[in-house]
């Protein structure tokens, strides 16, 4: 297996969400507005969004930049805030990790549901067992009401454990990266592939949550996210997927790692980050996680 070079996860970002959700989102929006105005004065231009590939039945591929978050008041109950985690060295969000000049969020067409193929002039499609990912965003400070209008940037490695834009052999690719905006049910959905397992990490998916689409993809996008965290995948699903030839090396890498020894999930055993997965290798799999922020 080709392993991404120097793949030690970085310490958690100092830009952590710690206050009340509504207060912080408003503050981030105000800061972003000021930065966007400054960028306009310097003549910066935004990239236009392109229509993504439609390998699955796709929806919500383009969103209005004016979208703002909203919390429903119909839900009742309590939920624990998902832990903040490191974005790792390969986010390509223009702010973190190795080579800060890489910014997938500025790519034309990055707002898309199907993230399996490269975009913006790059060609190439990631092969692997199909995986449909659904995240449901809820407000822990408002009886777990659903949150609409938030932008989620999601990325993960391919079946060989490589990260597009960074890893040897795929620096010219930008697949397995995309942005979606949460709908009235607080949900975002991505059509992807099951990620591989590289040496030293439990199989996982990264994502950042922003106050709006413009916060994520506008000229001012500098990593001012509301939350950055990771999703873990259950052992049974990983074991089944890694038995296929597309995931050469993943099974042995999985055998050398556990949730308790993983440098990200060990702190709480991924109790709030473990996705619910169903399906099969032949039919494809689905992963779902409720994300309280």
- pLDDT band at residue 41 using 50, 70 and 90 as cut-offs: very low
Rounded average pLDDT over 145-164: 98
pLDDT at 7 over 60: no
Summarised one tens digit per residue, pLDDT across range 68-108 is 566 664 455 789 999 999 999 999 998 865 676 799 999 99
The half-sphere exposure of 280 on its side-chain side, counting CA atoms within 13 A, is 2
Please tell me the predicted confidence (pLDDT) of residue 77.
77
Please tell me the predicted confidence (pLDDT) of residue 4.
40
Q: Report the percentage of the chain scoring pLDDT > 70.
A: 70
- The more confidently predicted of residues 206 and 224 is 206
Give the whole-angstrom CA distance, residue 270 versus residue 274.
6
Mean pLDDT is lowest, of 33-37, 50-54, 172-176, 203-207, for 50-54
Tokens linked to 109: 């067409």
Rounded average pLDDT over 39-49: 31
Summarised one tens digit per residue, pLDDT across range 167-185 is 999 999 999 999 999 999 9
pLDDT at 219 over 80: no
Q: Tell me the torsion sign for CA atoms 207, 210, 216, 222.
A: negative
Q: Which residues is 210 bridged to in the sheet?
A: 151
Please tell me the predicted confidence (pLDDT) of residue 76.
57
């Amino acid at each position: 297996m080709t392993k991404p070079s120097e793949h030690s996860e970085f310490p958690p970002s100092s830009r952590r969400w710690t206050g009340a959700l509504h207060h912080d989102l408003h503050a981030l929006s105000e800061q972003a507005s000021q930065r966007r105005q400054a960028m306009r004065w310097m003549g910066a231009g935004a990239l236009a969004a392109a229509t993504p590939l439609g390998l699955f039945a796709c929806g919500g591929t383009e969103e209005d930049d004016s979208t703002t978050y909203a919390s429903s008041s119909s839900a009742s109950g309590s939920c624990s805030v998902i832990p903040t985690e490191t974005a790792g060295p390969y986010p390509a969000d223009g702010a973190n990790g190795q080579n800060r000049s890489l910014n997938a969020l500025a790519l034309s067409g990055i707002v898309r549901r199907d993230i399996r193929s490269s975009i913006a002039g790059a060609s190439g499609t990631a092969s692997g067992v199909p995986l449909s990912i659904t995240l449901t965003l809820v407000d822990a400070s408002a009886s777990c009401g659903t949150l609409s209008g938030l932008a989620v940037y999601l990325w993960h490695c391919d079946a060989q454990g490589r990260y597009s834009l960074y890893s040897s052999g795929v620096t010219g690719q930008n697949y397995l990266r995309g942005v979606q905006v949460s709908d009235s049910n607080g949900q975002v959905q991505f059509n992807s592939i099951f990620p591989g397992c590289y040496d030293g990490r439990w199989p996982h998916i990264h994502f950042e949550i922003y106050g709006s689409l413009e916060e994520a993809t506008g000229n001012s996008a500098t990593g001012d996210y509301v939350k950055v965290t990771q999703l873990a995948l259950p052992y049974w699903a990983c074991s089944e997927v890694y038995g296929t030839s597309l995931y050469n090396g993943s099974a042995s890498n999985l055998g050398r790692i556990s949730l308790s020894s993983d440098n990200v999930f060990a702190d709480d055993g991924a109790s709030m980050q473990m996705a619910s997965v169903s399906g099969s290798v032949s039919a494809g799999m689905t992963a779902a996680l409720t994300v309280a922020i």
